[in-house]
Structure 1
Amino acid sequence: MNNRSSILWFALALLSACNTTKNSMPTASISTVNNGKVWSSLWQQRAAEYRALCFQAYNLAQLRLDEALKQPGSKPLAVVTDIDETVLDNSPYDAQRAVNNLEYDTATWKQWTAQAACDTVAGAPGFFKYAASKGATVFYITNRDEDERTGTLKNLQRYQMPNADDAHLLLKSGNSSKESRRLEILKNYNIVLLCGDNLPDFDKLYDNHPTEQSRAQVTTQLARQFGSKYIVLPNPSYGDWEGSLFKFNYKLTPSQKDSIIKANTRFAK
């Protein structure tokens, strides 16, 4: 076992040991898919490289906003952002589920968001406060449900995020596509930037669960938008990239997901 593998397994063993101490029953053997989510959450929480990528994204966002401010149009400027893993950090929830070999669950997720306990993503508060100070209106387009409104606003307001109110928080209603909500904003504003961690946060071409190959093709097609109008934040834990790998089959067992992961991973020969 090489040094990198040793560190990985030590971290996982430590997390599992901590969890066993807190609970009367030891956790089940962690599957590959959840094993990976523990490691991803650990990276998100501890790696300076993760923070650097977030700062890089928001530094670039500020440069692009400054450029847009030099060319005002007939409509006021707006910046549109996703919330989860773009403004707020949910890695404690992901880690807790994964270390117990449990996957995402709507009921426990809503218990988590109701606590309004998320920390912020590095660079997010500074950038959005800067945008507001320059006259840009911030809109939050999220696929959290309506019954998560109170907790979501409380969490945003905890960090004095600008425009953290009912009028600027656009929750999911109906399907998960964000296109109709973007179009509503465009009626009165010029959207100069979109920030997100999941590609459907940016363009309707990613809607309707495209295949992994289609997502790659669309990304190549939109290449010039990334770093220009589309600002992407890192999220190694979840997203449509994961869904497309599993063909959006939410009934797969962890064992079935493990098999797909191993079949689609390139290993050294």
Structure 2
Amino acid sequence: MQHRVLSLSLLACALALGACQRTDTAPAKPLKPAAATVPASAPKSATRPDDNLNAVLWMQASVEYRASAITIYRAAADRLDRALKEKHWDALVPDERGNAATGLAPAVIMDVDETVLDNSPYQARLIRDGKEFDEVTWDAWVAEKKAKPLPGVVDFAKAAAARGVTILYLSNRAEHLQEATLANLRAAGMPVKDDSVFLGLGTVVDDCEQNGSEKNCRRRLAGQKYRVLMQFGDQIGDFVQVVANTPAGRSQLLDDYRDWFGERWWMLPNPSYGGWEPALFNNDFAQPREARREAKRQALDVAP
């Protein structure tokens, strides 16, 4: 632990009077934590600041996060019967519907990650190890099949299934992760009708060209067989195609479909990651981490 060294005159003054004012104007340096507070086994990277620390801790430790998820799924369950009764009720935007929904079997589209399954332990590992997302560590995490369900989601899904509603899992987990994902969903207590309910990244949709991880083609595929009563996600792109991933483009989508939220669309909170973040640094993850962090600092709305 480092301490500022007092001059002999200041020390004498302090001893003699006990209340002398300091004559130096430099701000005091913060004390460094004792070395014993950092476990010897912890990697050095674990002590570095990480943008995701508070976000992941909030998702894991706060009752507010759990209450938010419970509120959303309970409110959605209260809307189920109304959605079923109204023959023209549909949660796909007209541009992605492609065919009439009347007479089709009912379904609910659910994103998987941070909508149904909680992957915060994976994010916590990245923080611990000073790393960022990559496909190798992500695939390894999925293969563990350890993700837990979000609060409230199992009760909602079972209520929907009891009413004859099929749960479709429209996820940006790659198709080769289907088996592990469905096994994890079943272990979490979620209804899984069969393998066809998983529409992962890489699903081929005839006459529809998929743009990166956008889900519009897979939503169109779901709409060919089902009347979609509701959609659940943690990103705006889980509900409608994001043509321009900029703050303005994303805000415009919210303005266009504001009335859909809380009726047909249900958004789960996720402060840990998502399309909102790269929208702040021109979607360029090739930039150094500090350059991306500076772009996020510049995006802050600082009170005067």
Give TM class, smaller chain.
0.7 to 0.9
Q: Return 5+ residue gaps in structure 1 as ranges.
A: 1-12
Structure 1 pair 65/257, CA: closer, same or farther in 2 (3 Å)?
same
1:231 pairs with 261, 266, 275, which one?
Answer: 266
Distance 1:125 1:26, change over 3 A: same
Sort the Cα spacing of 1:54 and 1:28 in 2 relative to 1 into closer, same or farther, 3 A. closer
Return the offset for 1:69.
2.1
Quick check: 1:153–1:164 contact (8 Å CA) kept in 2? no
Two-structure CA RMSD over aligned residues (Å): 1.8
Task: Show the counterpart of 2:227.
Answer: 190
Q: Tell which structure's C-alpha radius of gyration is larger.
A: 2
CA distance in 1 between partners of 2:282 and 2:219 (Å)? 26
Query: Which aligned pairs between 1:240-255 and structure 2 lie closer than 5 A?
Result: 240-255=275-290
> Where do 5+ consecutive residues of structure 2 fail to align?
1-32, 88-101, 203-209
Is residue 2:163 matched to residue 1:134? Answer: yes
Judging changes above 3 Å, is the alpha-carbon distance between structure 1 residues 28 and 123 closer, same or farther for their aligned structure 2 residues? closer
Q: Are 1:54 and 2:72 matched, yes or no? A: no
Matched, 1:26 2:35: no
Cα distance, 1:235 vs structure 2: 0.3
Q: How does 1:82-93 map to 2 (within 5 A)?
A: 82-93=111-122
Q: Is the 8 A contact 2:233 2:267 kept in 1?
A: yes
CA contact (8 A) 1:139 1:170 kept: yes
Distance 1:131 1:28, change over 3 A: closer
* Paired residue type of 1:255: E
Q: How does 1:136-151 map to 2 (within 5 A)?
A: 136-151=165-180
**Paired residue secondary structure (1:53):** helix
> In the alignment, residue 170 of structure 1 is paired with which amino acid?
L
Tell me if structure 2 keeps the 8 A contact 1:76–1:136. Answer: yes
What is the total number of aligned residue pairs between the two structures?
247
Paired residues for 1:154-173 under 5 Å: 154-163=183-192, 165-173=194-202
* SS of alignment partner, residue 109 of structure 2: strand
The 10-residue stretch of structure 1 (163-172 or 110-119) with the greater mean CA deviation from structure 2: 163-172
* Structure 1 residue 29, shift from structure 2 partner: 5.3
Check if 1:70 corresponds to 2:85: yes
How many angstroms apart in 2 are the aligned matches of 1:89 and 1:124? Answer: 11
Q: Deviations over 1:174-215 (max 9, x none)?
A: 6312111111121121101000001110012x2x44211111
1:31-87: CA deviation from partner (whole Å, max 9, x where unpaired)? 4xxx23111111001111101110111112112212112234522211000000000
1:201 aligned onto 2:238: yes
- SS in structure 1 opposite 2:225? coil
Of all paired residues, the percent bearing the same amino acid is 33
Distance in 2 between residues matched to 1:231 and 1:105, nearest whole Å: 28
Q: Is the 8 A contact 1:138 1:163 kept in 2?
A: yes
Indicate the residue corresponding to 2:126 in structure 1.
97
Distance in 1 (CA, whole Å) between partners of 2:194 and 2:51 is 36
List structure 1 segments (4+ residues) > 4 angstroms apart after TM superposition: none
Which of 238, 262, 265 is the matching residue for 2:297? 262
With over 3 angstroms needed to count, the CA separation of the structure-2 counterparts of 1:153 and 1:201, relative to structure 1, is same
Deviation at 1:164, TM superposition (A): 5.3
The question of 1:222 aligning with 2:257 is answered yes
Does the C-alpha gap of structure 1 residues 117 and 28 become closer, same or farther in structure 2, counting only changes over 3 Å? closer
- Closer, same or farther in 2 for the Cα pair 1:153/1:21, shift >3 Å? farther
